Homo-oligomer: A and B are copies of this chain.
Amino acid sequence: MIVVMQLGASQGQIDTVCEVIRRHGAEPLVMPGEDRLAIGVPAALSQDQRVSLETALGLVEGVSKVTQTSSPYKLASREFYPESTQVTVKGVQIGSDTFVVMGGPCSVESYEQFRASADMVKSAGAHILRGGAFKPRTSPYSFQGLQQEGLKIIKQVSEETGLPTISEVMSADMVESVAAHVDILQIGARSMQNFPLLIEAGKSMAPVFLKRGPSATVDEFLLAAEYVLSQGNPNVILCERGLMAFDRAYTRNILDLAVVPVLQESSHLPVVVDPSHGTGVARYVAPMAKAALVAGADGIMVETHPDPKAALSDGSQALDPTQFAALLADLRRIAPVVGKRL
């Protein structure tokens, strides 16, 4: 922690800061600067001591700002854990040299629709089947998903086709039930800071697919992952799905592809990109999926539908079977050039 004093802070104010630091068990290090003086806190503090010290310092007269030099997250940090994490789900390794493709519809609408989706995903050569049973919808009047019935369909189709599955869980009390039916728990962008849910997902030990909130900073995102990791569950996959856009006339969100190398440098966890929500428009999904591959992502999650025109939700961003197969073919051609395979 470093305390920067205001220009012209008095010796009395400097002394007060030093005294507050000493009261928290650390020896202050005074450092004259170009125009403002800084005071360092060269010691290991507990999180509670640190918060207490930071608050106390922030209220001392003459203090300009207090900055942290320690990393806010530890378990998610590559500085602390340099080796890359692989999350393995029924033989699919996420975070390896395989570029993992997750496909499937926004919502599970019926057994027939979901089975057709699975066949489409499998025949295109994708690895994991997605489908929403519980749907977080902005309007209470929109289709909310088949719920428990949807979970059963996911499980059945998974057994029939052998595809590993992923589906969203929206609240802590549903973690057990969803984990009993699907292979990967998805935590949606709007739930990124649903802390009871993060903790329960952590306790479940199931693989957790954590989507970045639309206005979450990188630190907030990794601290959300830290909630899951801190329960002893190392199986976290990070997903960039687009940031809040100030221009929604052409795309639904702004896909932040540069966060892929940023996350891979800051964290050891695998990073997947969702170009479907990231753009919200089916015809922009393929260019962004390919861009994610060469930017170094560990995989993509793409919305597909056997017949997008008839989809009950998000049809306008879903790829149809022909488009999805064409995308996979493109990815298969590009992958080897960047040291990956599908």
Contacts and interface: CB of A to CB of B under 8 A. Distances in A.
A41 B260 CA distance: 33
A71 B290 contact: no
Contacts of A257: 255, 257, 288, 291
Interface in A201-229: 214-215, 217-220, 223, 226-227
A94 B330 CA distance: 24
25 contacts: A6-B79, A8-B79, A33-B40, A34-B41, A35-B44, A40-B40, A47-B141, A51-B312, A52-B310, A55-B309, A56-B309, A59-B309, A138-B220, A138-B223, A141-B230, A170-B194, A171-B197, A191-B194, A217-B246, A244-B246, A250-B259, A250-B262, A251-B259, A257-B288, A337-B337
10 closest cross-chain pairs (CB), A and B = A291-B291, A55-B315, A215-B215, A7-B79, A47-B141, A217-B247, A190-B193, A215-B244, A31-B40, A290-B294
Interface of A: 1-2, 4, 6-8, 29, 31-36, 38, 40-45, 47-48, 50-52, 55-56, 58-59, 67, 69-73, 77, 79-80, 136-143, 170-174, 190-191, 193-197, 199, 214-215, 217-220, 223, 226-227, 230, 243-251, 254-262, 265-266, 278-279, 282-284, 287-288, 290-296, 308-313, 315-316, 333-334, 337-338
